[in-house]
Amino acid sequence: MREQEGETPGVLAQMYVEKLGLWGESEPGWRKSSLRQHKIWRPPTDVFETEGAIVVKVEIAGMARDDLSVSLEGRKLTIRGVRRDSSAKLGYQQMEIQYGYFETEVLVPRAIDEEGVEATYQEGFLRVRLPKAPARRVPVIDAEEPM
């Protein structure tokens, strides 16, 4: 969609999305929960690999550990929680910090040692370390009968 001269980039695209009732499904960083009526935001998430692990780093400042949940099902890592706004009743002049429920999902790109998974929260970042599973050596045996 081509923007008209003088408009802020993204304004027409935003209006188009709102008109179609798709707000939340296509806005970056937001999605509507199928289970809840409120919006769920997605925090900035980095995934990188070290020699011995896959590391997921999520920027979620201002959280309490009790408001965070980390789960691993197969190769899907899910991080969710809620960032509470203690000043919700104030009249804002500008509001850019996202509050409320959040969720991010990461598909782990390789086999990991599930027993060794660790999650730490420090200085506004949640860091989940997923140790790589050791390579499994498959023994070759002599067959009794020819194939």
Q: The domain that contains 125 carries what CATH number?
A: 2.60.40.790
Identity of the amino acid at 51 = E
How much is the pLDDT for 13? 44
Position 112 in a domain: yes
Q: CA–CA separation, 42 vs 45, rounded Å?
A: 8
Read off the pLDDT of residues 3-61 as tens digits, 9 standing for 90 and up.
444 434 444 444 443 444 444 444 445 444 444 446 899 999 999 999 999 999 999 99
Position 6 in a domain: no
Position 11 in a domain: no
Enter the tokens of residue 111: 């086999």
Report the domain count for the chain.
Answer: 1
- With cut-offs at 50, 70 and 90, classify the pLDDT of residue 85: confident
Position 122 in a domain: yes
Q: CA–CA separation, 77 vs 16, rounded Å?
A: 33
Flag whether pLDDT at 127 surpasses 70: yes
Position 5 in a domain: no
Helix (H) or strand (E) holding 18: helix 11-19
Position 54 in a domain: yes
Position 47 in a domain: yes
How much is the pLDDT for 48? 97
> Which residues contact residue 30 at a Cβ distance below 8 angstroms, ignoring those fewer than 6 apart?
23, 24, 39, 40, 41, 42
pLDDT top residue among 126 and 97 = 126
Position 56 in a domain: yes
The answer to whether the predicted template modeling score (pTM) of the entire model surpasses 0.75 is: no
Domain limits at 57? 29-87+96-131
